[in-house]
Chain A
Amino acid sequence: MRLDTLELVRYGHFDGRTLEFRKAGPADREIDLQIVYGPNEAGKSTIREAISDLLFRVKPQSKMTFAVRDVLKIGARATVAQVPVEAYRLKKNKEDLVDAQDRPLRDNPFAAVTDGFDRAGFEQTFSVNRKQLESGGELILKGEGDLGQLLFAGTSGLQGLPEKLSELNERASAIWSRKGGASARVLVDAIKEIDQRIRELQTTQGAYDGKRREVDRLAAAFENARTDYAAVDAEIRRVSGRLNALNPYRDKLRVLNELDTLGAGETASEEEWERLARIVNELAGLEARLGTTKETKEALEEQHEATPEADPILGFRDAVGELAKMAEKIREQRLSRPKRETEADDARETIARVLRELDLEIGADAANLALPTRAAGTLTDLLKKRVELVASQETAEQEVESAREKLDEATRTLGSLPTADDPAALRAILKASRERDLSADHRDASRAIAGRREEIVLAMKSIGLSPDKADWLNGFDLPGTDAVERLELRLRRAGEEVGKLEAERTQQVKTAAAAEDDLKSLGEVVVLSDEALAAALASRDEVVRALRGNLSAERVEDLRGRLAASIADADRIFEERIRNADRLGDMNAAIRSRDRARFTGERISTDLEIAQRVLQEVENDVSSFVPDGSVGVSGLLGIRALIAAQAVVRSALAKVATCSSELQEITSAASEWAAGLRQAMVEAGRAVSEDAKLSVVQNLAEEWIGTLETRGRDHALAEARTTEAELDLNRRSEKLARLTSDLSDWETAFGEAIAGTWIPAETPPGQVSDILARLPELAEARANLRTAVHRLTRMDEDASTMAERLEAFLDASGIAIPGELAGADFAMVIDHLRDRLDIARERNQAAKALAERIDALEDTISTLGQQIADKRSEVADLVERFGDPSFSELSQLVRAGIKRHELQESLAAHSHAVMKALGVTTVEEALALMSATDEDGLRAEMVGLEADRSRLNQERDESGRAHAVASAEFAKMTGSDEIARLIQQRESLKVELIDQIQDYIRIRAGERALNWALTRYRQANKAPMLEAAGRFFARMTDGRYPELITQPGNKGDMLVAREGTGVLKDVDALTEGTSHQLFLALRMAGYLELARDRQAPPLILDDILSSSDEKRTGAMLEALADLAEEVQVIVLTHHAFVLDIAQRAVEGRHSVIRLDEAA
């Protein structure tokens, strides 16, 4: 695309301004370099913005409307794909591309230009500003002469691609392990945590069914234990009932029998009796209470005495409690044992599976299948390193192969070149032969001879002689100039005389004519006379002309004759007519007049004749000078011509003679030089024909020197290339050797690294890599296994510790355990101890309570004794008053009555119990049975039963506890939604994780593929772009760096500049200014590369020339002018000195548009 004009209709501070871009240079080689100059604020940046706005669209936030009357409008007349277009852009959301009349355009005429670009990408690609130039130069100087990146930056305008790709890589890595955020790793950990929690909470169908069956089984066991216990307990009660029933019942029966002996007391007054009865009653009550109390006390004392010694276990309450607590903990641990074992099995299975999948047969303990972090890290690093090394080695091998091929090719090329002789000698002779330009001399001499010969020919031709008469003319004796002048004088005078006579005769003829007019009436006589006169005059005129000219003498004579004849004819005819026409009145006058005229005419004719004779004589004299009739000139003029021609001929011949001599000398010299050159040529290996002229030989020599020089250069180049290829091969071979050595080192390091691990030494790296990849899984399984095993071990240890502590305790405390518990599980022993402690504690508390009660009863007895004494004292007064009955009788009577009643009641209760205990219905039967009962047998049976009951009690309690635990666990298996919530949390984490991993995958794959494509791109674009960039760079550096080439570097091909001397210079060693030039050259080449394949806009260079010195700026302009021969280049500048430099550097090859001038 070419911009022909830019129409700033209403845009920024421009109002109706048109910028016209005219090409410079001749029509057949037009140059499209446009320098747009405007001081600051003149709108230079506006121009750049305007072009982008036109091609894309006006940004909504555009500020270019601030100074316009109406809406913004920008347009252009341009040529796109050889088609002229005119289009304008308005600031609108839709239909913003219009024609000059603001009618919307259906198709975008710039589509082919902008296709494939957005605005930013477009500006980046097709324009260069100062900042880009500087950062591009910096990129080069930073040592990043990586060709691929530079070519890419050159074409795309995008710099720093490696950094950007690296950023992408980091972005991908950060997804996995970014700090302080929800990285993928954190999400994975969170998911694993939830999975662990779910596993803990989850109840599988199998677990549920198993637990249900266990609860049922334990319930049945508990029920059985309870039944068994109840049965034994009932039996104990029965036996105990029998034993307990015997003695008290006998005692009660005896007391009851004693009551029969008691008689009735004395009768007293009603009032006294009542009083006595009351007192007796109260006394009886008190005594009864006293008796009861005493009995109770005795019974309690008996009981107290019967209380066995306090169990020594009571002294070890805390120790037993501690043991029980530990035992409880171990019991809980035991409950979780199956789960731990399952975990261990799972972990083992995982490890085994992973090992199977890894195709590993490791004899080592699975729990040791881990690598220390450092070893794993080392191996990972080594494997990564190996991948790099192997890749580098492959590359290096290819490079060596390629370098070797190049060397072979270079050697072949060198071998195929002909030997190059030094053309110095030949050049010296040639130079010497050219010191005098013999050709030019020869040419000049020949030209001079030819010129003289030409003069001779012309001179000879002017006198009607052939050129070969020149020598004759040269030797011919001609009068001198003075003689010719004299002749001329005579001739002039004779001519004047003839002229005068002729004039007179003309007068006479006129007179005769007048007479003739008078005689017209005479008809044809006059006519005849006139004709005759005319004929005579013509003859005379002819004669005169002949005299003045070069008429021959015969011709003059002939004319004169004809004149006389004409006059005679006229006279004759006139006279005949006069005779025949006498009627005319004034015929005589006419005749007289005519006669006078004739007379005068005759006289004049005579004079004329004389004059003519004189003239003839003179002419004869003149003719005498002319040698013969072969000369094509006559008369005086002829003599003069002859004289002139002779002078010319003489001079020319003299010159010709001189030149011929010179020519001969030149020819001779040329022959010598030619012979010398031929000889030198032969010596330089080139035969030349003997007859070849000097110039031919010189040309051949020059050509041969060129050939020899080319050969020499080719040879030198080929040698240099061979050397370079050798060096390259050496370099690459060294690199390969280094890599091979590195690989060998690597093998050693790898062997050492692997030797420190459990991985078999012969495991190939690939498999080690697989192993490392699976290490987390192995580590997790191993950790699980270790945890589970550790827990199991700890359980066992705890159990063992427990048993030891128990044993220690038993030893230390001296507490004996029942024989049946010998060798039993410590838990059972501890349960036993706990129960025994409970019982001892209960007994102890009971004994204490008993003693307290006995003390209390003693107090009561004492109190009652005092009360009874008081009552007795009171009753004694009464008995004394009544005299007869003694108090003791009364008291006895009352007490006997009271006691009888109590005994009867007690007996009734006992009777019932005894009947029941003994299984009889009457007292008699009971008594009979009691007398027959074996009390010792019953006691022995009781001991056996109590042992049974203790055992069953334990069984019942244990099964009850087990049932309770199982039931509680079963009860925990509910329709809880906890797991559902956890799964939902997990799902949310998973969705997020998938998003992140998708991002990771896309970014990582994109980055890898882009890197790959970049390498390809470099290969594809290297040659044409390098060639073009090299050309521009050479121009910009004024030939200091005639070529850009590549050579292998650490990061692939690197760009190197070749100096004119052949020295190669790394681009990062260039000066800052030169690096800017190199970057610009690359951008120009990139632009050219793009522009060859598509419709490209003008290349816009914004203020890039101001930072360089004049020489450099001029050189850059020259390069831009070169580019402008192919494409349109617009340079924006606000420095007037750039215009001055352009004027000097690219005069006539650029156009200037000044924004500070009116349109």
Chain B
Amino acid sequence: MAFRFIHTADLHLDSPLKALRRRNADLADAVGVATRTAFERIVERAIEDTVDALLIAGDLYDGTTRDVSTGLYLADCIRRLGAAGVHTLIVLGNHDAESVIKPPFASVDHLTVFKPKAGTVRFEEVQVAIHGASFRDSQVPDDMVSGYPEPVPGWVNIGLLHTSLGGYAGHAAYAPTTPARLTDKGYDYWGLGHVHKSQVVQEGREDRSWIVYPGIPQGRDMGETGPGRAVLGSVEDGRVAIEWFDVGPVVLERVPVRLPDAASIDDVRLEVRTIAEAVIGAAGPEQSIIRPELEVPAFLVPALHRVRDELLDLVQTNVLARAGRISVEKIGLVAAGEARDSVEGHNETLMELTGLVRDHAAGDADLVAEIARDLDGVLSKLPADVRREPELDTPLTSLEPDRGGDVGAWLETAVREAAAAIAGTGGEERP
């Protein structure tokens, strides 16, 4: 008898999409519940395909979630799965450990939430054992694999683990381990969570286990591009086979558009159709939010920055004329060539002023303090979480050499933009 399961992770339910701006009002409805929709699709597939188990490898929701409705929703879904005979097995990840939300799982049947001490759930009829252990705290610096039970001999053994898998920089504090150690454990399939990019780390064979990250079902920002997916696994004759299916209702993509010959803003405007076509080409069958990243000569960047909204409108209009389900997030700008070349306005006197700022402004404590005060004044009017956003915190940090800020460089960037605005000629022809 076959055993079928769905493997997912990193649901981050009710986590908002950072990629959506208000101009995309049509998408707002879909996006507002996109993480739920993605999970909904997993649940429906599990019920339709009458799988035996849904495996969730951690991070059910953001650690900052404070509202229990997310947990109640999750509990309802699991209840539906239970009613359809699907057993849900969960290991808690770092976000779950951090979270104050405790879903009312006590009243839900057909659910196993693994404890921090590893445990096993046995499916006797099909001789499948599923092992798992939850994060106790938001950070687990140790390899958790050694604490997992030994495989049940003669059975198919599946491990559920939330891990950064060692090789992923920046994730060291999340139960790091290695594919070799996972393989040594002797399980047939390792269902991992934590890394948001879906991938098969290691394909299963006779002598080695599958190691799979299903990725985040619904990407939330331009760092999480591509379609959100989940794994549909089946165990037959002691062997595991997998296939993927798409679940994310909204696909985020970045698409590079090279415009190395552009010499003016008008040149870029003339390429709007090209940009729109690149955007459409990058979109999938789902609702898509696309960020075209224009690679243009460095000197054009500040001038383009000033007309970025206008460009965005142009591109969006062009895209909408051809395809309705695509939203352009914003126009990214990538400078090609020397940064020093990107002097706005191309007026040598303005350049001289820019140079003065670059070389000497950092040394004028009064000036720096005055600007810092001004920025502080504005930031203090913002909600605390907005104020702490890196995009806004970075300028302030930049004005503090003690915190590693390069005051001169930052001011130079600001002055270039101001100079471009003053010259009012940025982006005209250039030899």
Given A1009-B367, A1012-B361, A1090-B348: A975 touches B74 (CB 8 Å cut-off):
yes
Given A56-B431, A980-B14: A1002 touches B69 (CB 8 Å cut-off):
no
Given A975-B72, A1010-B357: A111 touches B101 (CB 8 Å cut-off):
no
In the complex, the answer to whether A156 meets B347 with C-beta atoms within 8 Å is yes
The verdict on A342 contacting chain B, using a C-beta distance below 8 Å, is no
Question: Across the interface, which residues of A come within 8 angstroms of B414, CB to CB?
Answer: 1001-1003, 1005-1006, 1009
Residues 303-334 of A, flagged 1 when their CB comes within 8 A of B and 0 if not, give: 00000000000000000000000000000000
CA distance A182 to B347 in the complex (A): 34
CA distance A973 to B382 in the complex (A): 31
In the complex, the answer to whether A988 meets B69 with C-beta atoms within 8 Å is no
The verdict on B345 contacting chain A, using a C-beta distance below 8 Å, is yes
Residues 989-1011 of A, flagged 1 when their CB comes within 8 A of B and 0 if not, give: 11111100110111111111110
Given A161-B422, A1003-B418: A116 touches B31 (CB 8 Å cut-off):
no
CB distance from A614 to the nearest CB of B (A): 106
In the complex, the answer to whether A990 meets B33 with C-beta atoms within 8 Å is no
The verdict on A204 contacting chain B, using a C-beta distance below 8 Å, is yes
CB distance from A418 to the nearest CB of B (A): 44
Residues 13-28 of B, flagged 1 when their CB comes within 8 A of A and 0 if not, give: 1101111111010001
CA distance A182 to B348 in the complex (A): 36
CA distance A59 to B367 in the complex (A): 42
The verdict on A202 contacting chain B, using a C-beta distance below 8 Å, is yes
Q: Which of A171, A176, A195, A977 contacts B69 (CB 8 A)?
A: A977
Q: Which of A108, A157, A158, A985 contacts B422 (CB 8 A)?
A: A158
CA distance A994 to B354 in the complex (A): 26
Question: Across the interface, which residues of B come within 8 angstroms of A208, CB to CB?
Answer: 68
In the complex, the answer to whether B73 meets A118 with C-beta atoms within 8 Å is no
Residues 348-376 of B, flagged 1 when their CB comes within 8 A of A and 0 if not, give: 11111110110011001001001100110
In the complex, the answer to whether A191 meets B69 with C-beta atoms within 8 Å is no
Question: Across the interface, which residues of A come within 8 angstroms of B74, CB to CB?
Answer: 975
Q: Mark out the residues of chain A between 193 and 231 whose CB falls within 8 Å of any chain B CB in the assembled complex.
A: 195, 198, 201-205, 207-208
Question: Across the interface, which residues of B come within 8 angstroms of A973, CB to CB?
Answer: 68-69, 72
In the complex, the answer to whether A994 meets B391 with C-beta atoms within 8 Å is yes
Question: Across the interface, which residues of A come within 8 angstroms of B347, CB to CB?
Answer: 117-118, 121, 124-125, 156-158
CB distance from A484 to the nearest CB of B (A): 93
CB distance from A1136 to the nearest CB of B (A): 35
Q: Mark out the residues of chain A between 1006 and 1048 whose CB falls within 8 Å of any chain B CB in the assembled complex.
A: 1006-1010, 1012-1014, 1016-1017
Q: Which of A164, A997, A1008, A1010 contacts B353 (CB 8 A)?
A: A1010
In the complex, the answer to whether B421 meets A1003 with C-beta atoms within 8 Å is yes
The verdict on B383 contacting chain A, using a C-beta distance below 8 Å, is yes
The verdict on A976 contacting chain B, using a C-beta distance below 8 Å, is yes
Question: Across the interface, which residues of B come within 8 angstroms of A574, CB to CB?
Answer: none
CB distance from B204 to the nearest CB of A (A): 36
In the complex, the answer to whether A991 meets B361 with C-beta atoms within 8 Å is no
In the complex, the answer to whether B429 meets A57 with C-beta atoms within 8 Å is yes
Residues 87-123 of A, flagged 1 when their CB comes within 8 A of B and 0 if not, give: 0000001100000000000001011001011111110
Given A125-B348, A1007-B418: A977 touches B33 (CB 8 Å cut-off):
yes
Q: Which of A116, A981, A984 contacts B351 (CB 8 A)?
A: A116
The verdict on A979 contacting chain B, using a C-beta distance below 8 Å, is yes
The verdict on A152 contacting chain B, using a C-beta distance below 8 Å, is yes
In the complex, the answer to whether B378 meets A176 with C-beta atoms within 8 Å is yes
The verdict on B411 contacting chain A, using a C-beta distance below 8 Å, is yes
The verdict on A55 contacting chain B, using a C-beta distance below 8 Å, is yes
Question: Across the interface, which residues of B come within 8 angstroms of A605, CB to CB?
Answer: none
Q: Which of B17, B69, B348, B386 contacts A976 (CB 8 A)?
A: B69
The verdict on B100 contacting chain A, using a C-beta distance below 8 Å, is yes
Question: Across the interface, which residues of A come within 8 angstroms of B354, CB to CB?
Answer: 1013
The verdict on B403 contacting chain A, using a C-beta distance below 8 Å, is no
In the complex, the answer to whether A992 meets B392 with C-beta atoms within 8 Å is no
Residues 958-987 of A, flagged 1 when their CB comes within 8 A of B and 0 if not, give: 000000000000000111111111011111
Question: Across the interface, which residues of A come within 8 angstroms of B17, CB to CB?
Answer: 984, 987
In the complex, the answer to whether A202 meets B67 with C-beta atoms within 8 Å is yes
Interface size on B, residues (CB 8 A): 86
Question: Across the interface, which residues of B come within 8 angstroms of A158, CB to CB?
Answer: 347, 349-350, 422-423
CA distance A155 to B76 in the complex (A): 73
In the complex, the answer to whether B361 meets A188 with C-beta atoms within 8 Å is no
CA distance A205 to B22 in the complex (A): 31
In the complex, the answer to whether A998 meets B392 with C-beta atoms within 8 Å is yes
CB distance from B381 to the nearest CB of A (A): 6
In the complex, the answer to whether B361 meets A994 with C-beta atoms within 8 Å is no
Which interface residue of A165, A1004, A1010 has the most chain B CB atoms within 10 A? A1010
Question: Across the interface, which residues of B come within 8 angstroms of A565, CB to CB?
Answer: none
The verdict on B75 contacting chain A, using a C-beta distance below 8 Å, is yes
The verdict on A142 contacting chain B, using a C-beta distance below 8 Å, is no
CA distance A1013 to B377 in the complex (A): 23
Question: Across the interface, which residues of A come within 8 angstroms of B66, CB to CB?
Answer: 202, 204
In the complex, the answer to whether B377 meets A773 with C-beta atoms within 8 Å is yes
In the complex, the answer to whether B378 meets A997 with C-beta atoms within 8 Å is yes
Q: Which of B16, B357, B361 contacts A984 (CB 8 A)?
A: B16
CA distance A1006 to B410 in the complex (A): 10
CA distance A1014 to B354 in the complex (A): 10
Given A122-B346, A994-B389, A1012-B361: A204 touches B33 (CB 8 Å cut-off):
no
In the complex, the answer to whether A1002 meets B413 with C-beta atoms within 8 Å is yes
Given A986-B16, A1013-B353: A56 touches B430 (CB 8 Å cut-off):
yes
CA distance A55 to B429 in the complex (A): 11
Given A56-B430, A977-B14, A1004-B375: A121 touches B425 (CB 8 Å cut-off):
yes
In the complex, the answer to whether B361 meets A168 with C-beta atoms within 8 Å is no
The verdict on B313 contacting chain A, using a C-beta distance below 8 Å, is no
In the complex, the answer to whether B22 meets A992 with C-beta atoms within 8 Å is yes
Given A773-B380, A975-B73, A1001-B395: A1010 touches B419 (CB 8 Å cut-off):
yes
Question: Across the interface, which residues of A come within 8 angstroms of B261, CB to CB?
Answer: 93-94
Q: Which of B69, B263, B375, B392 contacts A1005 (CB 8 A)?
A: B375
In the complex, the answer to whether B67 meets A979 with C-beta atoms within 8 Å is yes
CA distance A1132 to B313 in the complex (A): 44
In the complex, the answer to whether A111 meets B431 with C-beta atoms within 8 Å is yes
In the complex, the answer to whether B422 meets A165 with C-beta atoms within 8 Å is yes
Question: Across the interface, which residues of B come within 8 angstroms of A204, CB to CB?
Answer: 66-68, 100
Which interface residue of B102, B389, B429 has the most chain A CB atoms within 10 A? B429
CA distance A1052 to B180 in the complex (A): 73
Question: Across the interface, which residues of B come within 8 angstroms of A975, CB to CB?
Answer: 69-76
Given A110-B431, A125-B348, A1013-B357: A1006 touches B68 (CB 8 Å cut-off):
no
Question: Across the interface, which residues of A come within 8 angstroms of B13, CB to CB?
Answer: 980
The verdict on A131 contacting chain B, using a C-beta distance below 8 Å, is no
The verdict on A461 contacting chain B, using a C-beta distance below 8 Å, is no
The verdict on A1094 contacting chain B, using a C-beta distance below 8 Å, is yes
In the complex, the answer to whether A1009 meets B357 with C-beta atoms within 8 Å is yes
Question: Across the interface, which residues of A come within 8 angstroms of B102, CB to CB?
Answer: 205
In the complex, the answer to whether B18 meets A987 with C-beta atoms within 8 Å is yes
Q: Mark out the residues of chain A between 1073 and 1108 whose CB falls within 8 Å of any chain B CB in the assembled complex.
A: 1090, 1094
In the complex, the answer to whether B418 meets A57 with C-beta atoms within 8 Å is no
Residues 1052-1084 of A, flagged 1 when their CB comes within 8 A of B and 0 if not, give: 000000000000000000000000000000000
For the complex of A and B, list the 4 residue pairs with the smallest distance between their C-beta atoms, beginning with the closest: A1006-B418, A975-B73, A156-B349, A118-B346
Give the interface of A toward B (CB within 8 A). 55-57, 59, 93-94, 108, 110-111, 114, 116-122, 124-125, 152, 155-158, 161, 164-165, 168, 171, 176, 182, 185, 188, 191-192, 195, 198, 201-205, 207-208, 773-774, 776, 973-981, 983-994, 997-998, 1000-1010, 1012-1014, 1016-1017, 1090, 1094
Provide 15 A-B residue pairs closer than 8 Å at the C-beta atoms, listed in order of the A residue.
A118-B429, A158-B422, A192-B383, A973-B68, A977-B33, A987-B17, A987-B20, A991-B21, A1004-B371, A1008-B370, A1009-B411, A1009-B414, A1010-B353, A1013-B357, A1094-B348
Other A-B pairs, 18, CB within 8 Å; known A188-B382, A984-B20, A1005-B374 = A59-B429, A93-B261, A94-B261, A117-B347, A119-B428, A121-B350, A203-B69, A207-B68, A980-B33, A983-B14, A991-B18, A997-B382, A1001-B395, A1002-B417, A1006-B414, A1006-B421, A1008-B370, A1010-B418
